[in-house]
């Protein structure tokens, strides 16, 4: 429970940072900080807790986003569950696969958001306007996910009372 | 045995005469002045030398004593400069605010009576699909859905969703945004202005070829549809796209407000509805 609360607080901080994070010089893109936090947390916890953390983090983002409330919660919850249950056992600590997981998660998140917005009646900008920010976000999220994972793993271990054995 | 030779003393009367003669020599003009000149000629160089040295030494001591005084003055001046610089910054901000408020007053007079609620931007939507912002006033602060949002420079957008303490505003640069406008030019053309999302440009489509449009013409809201009140500045025509074969031409409009640098926003309550507003 404590870990879930801490993870939600981290997602809240990431939401606040993301609100004021302007487009980076890299193709006008910026990283999805909340997605990175919940994905990184799900690498170190079981699938049930990962789904809850993803859902709560997505709801925090929904509260400041123009997307329909609950959309980000649903997408993040599903992605975190999949990350913890299916991807982590296959990764075996491989950094490249972690980067790839971040890229795939970004693609799924952006695609899900776009489809949901279209379904709600909004018109999307032309694709040629979206290639740069989307591609940039994919790369940024993929490259930053390993660092976020390291950070979240330390917090999870600290909250779990984990102690490194010294021989 | 040593005996001292007694010293012969000047008689008293001789001393008196000598004093009288010396006084007469001092007071009476004549050859006695020559003795004074001899003395001054002989002593003058030495006097000059000693005077010069004395002046230099005195100057050094005076300079040393002034160093401390100047150091203290310097510190006082630096403090005063720092104080004046911060005052200058404050006054410049007040000048900008004054200019903005004067512009806003003119805008309010043109837009008609109503309540202007000041709001601040607290978040910007992170997805590349929507041009929207979140402000720090909601239902409890008097904001309602479909209220128009402006700055002193012009139109910003419209309130789409209202929560208790925040509101989400769709900017006019969003592709889903459309505004009924009129061009302040020769033709007084009316049309519907649409956003183009991230290019920060607006477009008026389906303008008849016969209408004359000039680059730089001001575009304002026409008030049609009673969504946006009439007279709000939207932007200026940046370029006109026309083809001889097409029956219509397109005007590309540069918004008056830089949507990437939103600062002081105002929500117009009771705007475009036609009923009596509450004066602020």
pLDDT tens-digit map of B195-204: 887 667 899 9
Which residue among B128, B134, B260 sits closest to A133, beta carbon to beta carbon? B128
Query: For tokens 């957008």, what's the residue?
Result: B157
d(CA B59, CA B32): 38
pLDDT level of residue B158 (50, 70, 90 thresholds): very high
Consecutive H or E run containing B109 = helix B32-111
How many angstroms separate the CA of residue A90 from the nearest CA in chain B?
30
Q: Is it the case that residue B149 has pLDDT exceeding 90?
A: yes
Is A19–B160 a contact, with Cβ atoms under 8 angstroms apart?
Answer: no
Q: Quick one: DSSP state of residue B166?
A: -
d(CA B148, CA B180): 13
The average pLDDT across B267-273 equals 67
Give the per-residue pLDDT at B280: 35
The average pLDDT across A24-45 equals 79
* Contact criterion met (CB below 8 Å) for B179 and B193: yes
The average pLDDT across A85-98 equals 74
Hey, what are B186's tokens? 């020769």
Select the residue from A12, A32, A62, A66 to test the B interface by mutation, using most B Cβ atoms within 10 A.
A66
How many alpha carbons fall within 13 Å on the CB side of residue A133? 20
Q: Is it the case that residue B275 has pLDDT exceeding 50?
A: no
Is A19–B198 a contact, with Cβ atoms under 8 angstroms apart?
Answer: no
Give the per-residue pLDDT at B179: 92
Phi, psi (rounded to 5 degrees) for A135: -65, -40
Q: Is it the case that residue B211 has pLDDT exceeding 80?
A: yes
Is B175–A20 a contact, with Cβ atoms under 8 angstroms apart?
Answer: no
Computed over every residue of chain B, the mean pLDDT equals 80
* Chain B residue whose CA is closest to A17: B123
Which residue among A21, A30, A122 sits closest to B130, beta carbon to beta carbon? A122
Q: Is it the case that residue B84 has pLDDT exceeding 60?
A: yes
pLDDT level of residue B274 (50, 70, 90 thresholds): very low
Hey, what are B93's tokens? 């901000």
pLDDT level of residue A43 (50, 70, 90 thresholds): confident
Chain A contact present for B134, CB below 8 A: yes
The residue among A56, A63, A51 whose CA lies nearest residue A6 is A56
pLDDT level of residue B169 (50, 70, 90 thresholds): very high
Q: Is it the case that residue A61 has pLDDT exceeding 90?
A: no
How many angstroms separate the CA of residue A25 from the nearest CA in chain B?
15
* Chain A residue whose CA is closest to B200: A129
Select the residue from B120, B121, B129 to test the A interface by mutation, using most A Cβ atoms within 10 A.
B129
The residue among B114, B72, B55, B33 whose CA lies nearest residue B278 is B114
Which residue among A64, A110, A133 sits closest to B123, beta carbon to beta carbon? A64
Mean pLDDT is highest, among B51-65, B122-136, B227-241, for B227-241
* Contact criterion met (CB below 8 Å) for A2 and A159: yes
CA B231 to chain centre: 30
Task: Give strand pairing partners of B157.
Answer: B149, B171
Chain A contact present for B127, CB below 8 A: yes
Chain A contact present for B175, CB below 8 A: yes
Q: Is it the case that residue B50 has pLDDT exceeding 50?
A: yes
Q: Is it the case that residue A163 has pLDDT exceeding 80?
A: no
Chain A contact present for B176, CB below 8 A: yes
The average pLDDT across A109-136 equals 83
The average pLDDT across A54-62 equals 86
d(CA B150, CA B139): 18
Q: Is it the case that residue B272 has pLDDT exceeding 50?
A: no
List B residues 106-125 in contact with A (Cβ-Cβ < 8 A): 122-125
Per-residue pLDDT tens digits for A134-152: 888 888 889 888 888 888 8
Give the per-residue pLDDT at B180: 92
* Chain B residue whose CA is closest to A128: B198
d(CA A105, CA A140): 12
d(CA A147, CA A150): 5
pLDDT level of residue B28 (50, 70, 90 thresholds): low
The residue among B56, A14, B196, B169 whose CA lies nearest residue B204 is B196
Give the per-residue pLDDT at A165: 57
pTM: 0.66
Chain A contact present for B178, CB below 8 A: no
**Better pLDDT: B249 or A3:** B249
* Contact criterion met (CB below 8 Å) for A144 and A14: no
What is the edge-to-edge ordering of all strands in the sheet holding B148-150?
B115-119, B265-269, B148-150, B155-162, B167-171, B132-135, B121-124
Give the per-residue pLDDT at B108: 61
Residues contacting B45, CB < 8 A, separation 6+: none
Q: Chain A to chain B, count of Cβ pairs less than 8 Å apart?
A: 58
How many angstroms separate the CA of residue A158 from the nearest CA in chain B?
31
Task: Give strand pairing partners of B248.
Answer: B208
**Better pLDDT: A146 or A88:** A146
Helix axes A2-20, A33-44, angle to 10 degrees: 160
pLDDT level of residue B155 (50, 70, 90 thresholds): very high
ipTM of the complex: 0.74
Mean pLDDT is highest, among A5-9, A70-74, B26-30, for A70-74
Mean pLDDT is highest, among A19-28, B18-27, B117-126, B248-257, for B248-257
Report the share of chain B in percent with pLDDT over 70: 79
What is the gyration radius of the CA atoms in chain A, in angstroms? 16
Task: Give strand pairing partners of B121.
Answer: B135
* Chain A residue whose CA is closest to B198: A129
Give the per-residue pLDDT at B279: 32
How many angstroms separate the CA of residue B171 from the nearest CA in chain A?
12
The average pLDDT across B200-225 equals 87
Q: Is it the case that residue B277 has pLDDT exceeding 60?
A: no
């Amino acid at each position: 429970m404590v870990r879930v609360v801490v993870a939600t607080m981290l997602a809240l901080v990431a939401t606040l940072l993301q609100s004021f994070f302007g487009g980076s010089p890299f193709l006008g893109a910026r990283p999805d900080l909340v997605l990175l936090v919940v994905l990184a947390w799900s690498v170190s916890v079981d699938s049930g807790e990962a789904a809850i953390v993803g859902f709560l983090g997505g709801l925090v983002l929904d509260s400041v986003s123009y997307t329909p409330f609950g959309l980000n919660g649903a997408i993040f919850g599903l992605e975190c569950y999949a990350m913890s249950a299916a991807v982590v056992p296959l990764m075996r600590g491989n950094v490249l696969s972690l980067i790839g997981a971040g890229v795939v998660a970004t693609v799924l998140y952006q695609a899900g958001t776009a489809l949901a917005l279209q379904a709600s009646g909004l018109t999307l900008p032309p694709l040629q306007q979206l290639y740069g920010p989307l591609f940039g976000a994919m790369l940024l999220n993929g490259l930053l996910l390993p660092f976020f994972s390291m950070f979240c793993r330390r917090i999870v271990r600290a909250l779990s009372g984990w102690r490194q054995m010294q021989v | 045995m040593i005996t001292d030779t007694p010293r012969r003393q000047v008689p008293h009367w001789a001393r008196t005469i000598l004093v009288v003669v010396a006084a007469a020599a001092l007071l009476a003009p004549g050859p006695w002045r020559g003795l004074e000149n001899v003395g001054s000629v002989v002593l003058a160089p030495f006097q000059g030398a000693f005077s010069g040295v004395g002046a230099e030494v005195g100057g050094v001591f005076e300079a040393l004593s002034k160093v401390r005084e100047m150091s203290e003055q310097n510190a006082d001046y630096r403090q005063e400069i720092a104080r004046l610089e911060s005052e200058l910054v404050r006054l410049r901000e007040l000048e900008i605010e004054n200019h903005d408020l004067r512009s806003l007053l003119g805008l309010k007079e043109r837009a008609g009576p109503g309540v202007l609620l000041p709001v601040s931007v607290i978040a910007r939507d992170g997805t590349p699909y929507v041009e929207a912002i979140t402000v720090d006033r909601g239902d409890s602060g008097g904001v309602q859905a479909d209220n128009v949002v402006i700055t002193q420079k012009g139109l910003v957008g419209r309130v789409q969703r209202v929560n208790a303490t925040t509101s989400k505003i769709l900017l006019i640069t969003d592709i889903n945004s459309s505004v009924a406008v009129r061009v302040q030019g020769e033709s007084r053309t009316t049309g519907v202005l649409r956003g183009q999302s991230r290019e920060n440009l607006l477009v008026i489509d389906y303008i008849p070829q016969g209408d004359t449009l000039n680059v730089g013409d001001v575009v304002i809201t026409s008030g049609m549809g009673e969504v946006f009140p009439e007279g709000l500045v939207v932007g200026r025509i940046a370029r006109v796209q026309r083809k001889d074969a097409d029956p219509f031409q397109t005007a590309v409009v540069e918004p008056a407000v830089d949507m990437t640098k939103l600062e002081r926003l105002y929500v117009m309550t009771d705007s475009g509805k036609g009923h009596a507003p509450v004066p602020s």
